[in-house]
Amino acid sequence: MKFGVIVFPGSNCDHDAFYAAGNNLGEKAEYIWHDSATLGDVDAVILPGGFSYGDYLRCGAIAKFSRVMNAVRNFARDGGLVLGVCNGFQILVEAGLLPGALIRNRGLKFICREVALRTETADSPFTCAGAKGEILRMPIAHGEGCYIADPRTLDELEAEDRVAFRYVNNPNGSLRDIAGILSKERNVMGMMPHPERATEALMGSSDGLVVLKSMLQAAVRA
């Protein structure tokens, strides 16, 4: 399987996603420059964390106009797997590929800490290698990670089993403790915690591998 890691100006978790997929999962990975019109022959796309375009205007608001995002939209429309982590989640939300918005943390401060996540559904290409109810430990590192949406959208997400992860102890004020959500077609996922940082015991946790392994399983099946 080949993962494509998008590099926006200001992405800074691109190396980490590349390393997690390439070394710790042991699959192929390649970088895709933000100016690229196509995604090449990748099987899945990762929008990594960081501060694309300096987070100017609003996190993710400028990145959505990158040329590569047209390709990402088309890829998603055709059923391709798209994972957005942290700033990647913010970009997916700004690009309209996922509903809701991410605003400043409740405490108005950047928070870097390991958190516990509850897997809310195993019925997705990002969680199928795990189990519903399973607790995963992985870090968060964000200043704008408070997930909000109107009540109808939140109800819909829940009714359609599209909440992928919830925080066990909500660190940032996210509504209904939401840490990660799926698109309607379930092939796009955004999450604020960093699974790529938790892919080897030496870094404190390998629980994040579940997400990458799920993507691998789903891609092989497809």
Burial 170-191 (b: 16+ CB within 10 A, else e): bbbbbebbbbbbbbeebbbbbb
How many chain residues interact with another protein (CB under 8 A)? 30
Is residue 83 a contact partner of residue 211, using CB atoms and an 8 Å limit? yes
Annotated active-site residue 86? The verdict is: yes
Of the pair 64, 194, the CB lying nearest another protein is at 194
> Catalytic residue at 185?
no
Nearer of residues 159 and 202 to another protein, judged by Cβ:
202
12 phi-psi bin (left φ>0, alpha ψ -120 to 50, beta other): alpha
Mode of pairing for the β-strands spanning 81-85 and 44-47: parallel
Location of structure tokens 């015991």:
201
Element (H, E) at 145: none
27 binds another protein (CB under 8 A): no
Interface mask (CB under 8 A) for another protein, residues 51-90, using x and -?
x-xxxx----------------------------------
H helix or E strand, kind and range, residue 44: strand 44-47
- C-alpha span between 70 and 87 (Å, rounded): 18
The nearest distance, CB 184 to another protein, in angstroms, is: 32
Q: Which of 13, 86, 128, 146 is catalytic?
A: 86
- Write out the binding residues for another protein, residues 149-208 only, by CB under 8 A: 194, 196-197, 199, 201-203
196: which 2 tokens? 């790529």
Of 141, 148, 175, 219, the one binding another protein (CB under 8 A) is 141
CB of 163 to another protein, least distance (A): 25
What tokens were used for 100? 């809701």
Joined tokens for residue 143: 């200043």
Which of 41, 78, 96, 109 binds another protein (CB under 8 A)? It is 109
| d(C-alpha 84, C-alpha 82), whole Å | 7
| Cα–Cα dist 93/155, whole Å | 17
194 is catalytic: yes
Shortest Å distance, C-beta 49 to another protein:
8
Catalytic residue among 59, 142, 144, 194: 194
Active site residues: 86, 194, 196
Residues at the contact surface with another protein, assessed by CB under 8 A: 9-10, 12-13, 15-16, 19-20, 49-51, 53-56, 109-113, 139, 141, 143, 194, 196-197, 199, 201-203
